[in-house]
Amino acid sequence: MQYKLLLTQADTTMFNWQLKVFFSSIEHLEIPKQNIILLTEIKGKPSEDFRKFERLATCHYFEDKKQRFYKPSCKPHLYGRFWEMYPACEQEYFFFAEQDMLISALPEVPLKPDTWFWSDASKFIETGKFEHVIGMQPRTSKPGGFHAIGTGVNADFWYKVEEDSIRLFEYMCKHIDVQYDRWICEMRAWIWNIWDRGFKTELSPELDFEYGKGWRRNVKLYHHLDARVFDKTKFRHTEPFEVMQRYHVPEELSVSRYINAVKDCGKNFLKKFNDA
């Protein structure tokens, strides 16, 4: 395998059921557990439910003592902690994935130490408007985001992304309309710092993804970002598996991929997971 999958999340009901759907979706890929890394924020100790993922992945647990008003900044913080524990990560390639994803096949890219491969995030991230907030020159390149494959960064890089994302979020809270997407400041700081470090970036069709809007397309990745048909945030404290019979959508719609995946997880994967 060219790279390791890396996911970061908190040990909460919502993230845990999404992870179950994720692992259900990649079961057919037969990825060895040593090639899937879960970095997980815990309170004291991991839940019994989360401990079951240790069968499927290499799990690392972290407590975060900071009181975060911008919660996504915890993600680069955990990356920094992990890279600090294992400095050899700087020489490894990682596929940065998310728990609310589906992967039908692994992306194939020509790995290069000076290049990061990204999903096209130009629908979600602007360039040339806010880089000055974190002391960088404006860029005109199309931005990547959400999912990436790359190498060559260290713990200091991730801690800077953490700090920059908080500074950018604070600025947007004070000066930018509330309708603007401030939640992805961590993603902005990530791609901008990659550029600032001198890395090349490529928006790879292998990392093209559906996100629940429009028609289905022939892509390897799905990331559930659209809430109009199935709103994942309604299941913060309960799992959705027992109520999925309510959801019926035409197969040709993008969102059907996620609805079918949640149904399939509840029908086929969940019993094996719970009996482990």
85 within 8 A of 205, measured Cβ to Cβ: no
Task: Examine the pLDDT at 276 and tell me if it is beyond 80.
Answer: no
As a whole number, the mean pLDDT across the chain is 95
Q: How many domains is the chain built from? A: 1
Task: Examine the pLDDT at 123 and tell me if it is beyond 90.
Answer: no
Whole-structure pTM value = 0.95
What is the CATH number for 236?
3.90.550
Q: What was the pLDDT predicted at 142?
A: 87
Tell me what the mean pLDDT of segment 172-186 comes to. Answer: 86
Q: What was the pLDDT predicted at 193?
A: 96
pLDDT digits (tens, 9 = 90+) for 126-176: 888 899 999 998 887 888 999 999 999 999 999 999 999 999 999 999 998
Q: Domain range for residue 15?
A: 4-274
pLDDT digits (tens, 9 = 90+) for 73-96: 999 999 999 999 999 999 999 999
